[in-house]
Chain A
Amino acid sequence: MALRWLALAGLALAALGLAVVLGPAHVSLADLWTSEIVRNLRVPRALLGFVVGGSLAVAGAGLQALVRNPLADPFLLGLSGGAGLGAVGAIALHVGGPWALPLAAFAGALAAMALVFRLGLVGGAELDPRVLLLSGVAVGAFAGAVTTAIVSLSEAAQLRNAFLWLWGGLSGASWDTLLVLCIYVPVPLLVLFAAARPLDLLALGEEPARYLGADVTHVKRRVYLAASLLTAAAVAVSGVIGFVGLMVPHLCRGVWGHQHRLLLPASFLGGGVLLVLADTAARVAVAPHELPVGIVTALIGVPLFAVLLRRWATT
C-alpha cells in the first residue's frame, strides 16, 4: 500500500520536473534556476496543470459515485456548455481585460450548474441523479447550440480564438491564476474528501445507503455542488479538458480499489500527473505551435479507455 503511494508521489514529481525542463525554448539545465521562462511560465503552468488535473479527477470520481454511473465525466453535467457560452459571449461582446475570459467562463459554468441543480431537484427537495444527468446533457446541448450560433455569426479571427479556447489550454497560466486557484480549490476538495465514506455507501443504492446511516439527501447535494465548483474553476482557467475526470478515477480504481477514502486522494495525484504530462506533450510535440491540451488528453485518453473497457468487458 505504502509502495503505491510512493510510486504515485514519485510519478508526480517526475511529471512536474519534466514539465519544467522541457519546452519549445531551449533552457540548459544550468540556467534552470535563473531562467525567466522557467520561473514565470513553466513552473506556474506545471503547477496550475497539476491542480486543474487533480481537481477534474476528484470531481469525476465523486460524480461517478453520485450518479451511480462509472461513465460519468465532470463535463457531462452541462458545465462545459455553460462555460463555453460564457467565454464565447465575452469574446463576441469584446469584453476586455486579462480576467474577462476566465470570469465569464466561470459565471457561465455556475449558471449551468444552478440550472441543472434546480432541474435535478425532484419535487423541490430530493436530488435525483438520473434527472440530474439528463438535465446536464440537455442544458449542455442547449448552451452548445447558442454558442455555435454566436460563433457562426462572428468574424473568422474571433471564431478561431473561441474554438481553441473551448478545447482547453493552460497557456494563460501565471502565478496570479495559480494563487487564486490554490485559495479556491481546497474547500470543495475537502468537502468531497469528507464525503468519502457516504460515497462508498451510495454505491449500493440510495435506500441501502440510508439504512447504513448515510444522510443521503445532503451528501448528494454536497457532492454535486463541490464537484461542480471544482469543474467550474478548472474550466475557467483552462477551458474544457475532457477525459481526465473520466479516465483517472478508473485507472485509480484498478490500483487502489473503490474505497473513496483512498480513491479520491489517489485521483487527485493521478489527475495532476496526467494533465501535466499531456500539457508538456501539447507544448513540445508541434513546437513552436501548441496543441490544445484537451486534444492531447482525448488522443491519449480515447484509445487507452477503449483498451480498458475491452479488458473489463472480458473479465
Chain B
Amino acid sequence: MGHDLILALREVSARYPAAPRDALAGVSLAVRNGEFVAVIGPNGSGKTTLLRVALGLLPPAAGTVEILGRPAGAWARRELARVVGVVAQREDNLFPQRVRETVLLGRYPHLSLWGAERPEDHAAVARALERCDAAALADRWIWTLSGGEYQRVRLARALAQEPRLLVLDEPTASLDVRHEMELFELVRGLVNRHALAAIMITHHVNLAARFADRVLLLDAGRAAAHGPAVEVLTRETVERVFAWPVAIEPFQGAPQMIPLRRPQP
C-alpha cells in the first residue's frame, strides 16, 4: 500500500459568525495513511475548529480542504463516515445500551436504508472490539464501564466504520496514566498495523511527542510550528505559545516538556 494522501488542508482560514477574529488562519496540514499526527495548543487555539473544518462541518472562509482528493464539503455524511471514523469529545447515551449495540452503530454508513445487519457487519464489530482489546466487554452495559474502557469501546465503534482516517478529539481527557498510555499505544498500533491515518487532538504534549509522527502546534488559530516533535517542541516556542516557563529535556529520543514553577514573591 502506498502512502496515499488522505486529508489535505491548504492555507485554511475559518471564522464563526460575529467573531472578532479568525478561529483558524492560514493553516495547512496533510495526513497520509500510516501517519499519526497530533494537534496540540492552548485552549481556544483552534484545535476543535480545525477538526470541524477538516470534517466538512464548517466551510472554510479561505483555502481548501480535501479528503481523498475531494472537497470535504462535497461528501455526503454517509459516504464520509465510510472513510473517516471520529471519536468526538462528548457524547451521552439517551437510552441504556450494551457495548456490542453501540459498536454496531458504527456499521450504519454501510447498511442499506431498510436492511438488517448482515453477517459481515457483525464480523466487523467483533474485529473492531478485538483490535481495541474490548472483546470481553461486548455484553456489558455502557454505564458499567470505566472511563478508559468506554473510550476503547468508542474507538472500536469508529473502527467498525472501517475508516481510512481516525480522528480523536481529546480521547484521554480525565483518564489515569495507565488508561491514557493504553489509548496512545492502541492508536499507534492501529496506525502501524493497519496503515490507518490518525489525527489526535490532545493536551498531552509529552505523549504527543513520544507517539506521534508529527505535531501541529496551534496558537490563536495559526500554526506556531508543524513537523517532527524535536523541531516543534523547542523551549522558546512552547513558552511563547503556552505562556508559561518550561524546560525541554530529551527522553528516549523525544523532547519532553517540564513546566517550571515560578519563583514565589
Contacts and interface: CB of A to CB of B under 8 A. Distances in A.
A272 to B, nearest CB: 22
Nearest to A198: B108
Interface residues of B, number: 34
B17 to A, nearest CB: 8
A207 B88 contact: yes
Interface stretch (B21-29, B91-99, B183-191, B196-204): B91-99
Contact of B77 (A68, A203, A213, A253): A213
Nearest to B86: A211
B162 to A, nearest CB: 12
B94 A212 contact: no
A51 interface: no
A214 B91 contact: no
A194 B113 contact: yes
Interface string A179-223: 000000000000000100110110111011011111110000000
Given A197-B108, A200-B105, A210-B57, A65 B94 contact: yes
A208 B79 CA distance: 15
A204 B82 CA distance: 18
Find the residue from B81, B90, B96, B105 having the highest chain A CB count within 10 A.
Answer: B105
B91 A208 contact: yes
B88 A208 contact: yes
Interface residues of A, number: 25
Interface in B65-92: 76-82, 84-86, 88, 90-92
A204 B105 contact: yes
B161 interface: yes
Given A201-B105, A205-B92, A210-B57, A215 B78 contact: yes
A210 B97 CA distance: 19
A172 B78 CA distance: 46
Interface in B206-254: none
Interface in B97-119: 97, 101-102, 105-106, 108-109, 111, 113-114, 116
B50 interface: no
Contact of A203 (B57, B78, B79, B94): B94
Given A197-B111, A200-B105, A201-B105, A215 B76 contact: yes
A261 B104 CA distance: 14
Contacts of B38: none
B109 A258 contact: no
A144 interface: no
B100 to A, nearest CB: 12
Contacts of B77: 210, 213-216
A189 to B, nearest CB: 14
Nearest to B17: A123
Contact of A205 (B85, B86, B91, B108): B91
A109 B241 CA distance: 56
Contacts of B85: 211
Given A194-B113, A208-B88, A214 B108 contact: yes
A212 B91 contact: no
A73 B74 CA distance: 37
Contacts of B82: 213
B99 to A, nearest CB: 14
A265 interface: no
A163 B79 CA distance: 52
Contacts of B39: none
Interface in A4-28: none
Contacts of B257: none
Interface string B107-145: 011010110100000000000000000000000000000
B55 interface: yes
Interface in A59-110: 65, 68, 70
Given A194-B113, A197-B108, A200-B108, 6 more contacts: A203-B95, A205-B90, A207-B91, A211-B86, A213-B78, A215-B76
13 contacts: A194-B113, A194-B114, A198-B108, A201-B108, A205-B90, A208-B88, A211-B85, A212-B106, A213-B77, A213-B79, A214-B78, A215-B76, A258-B95
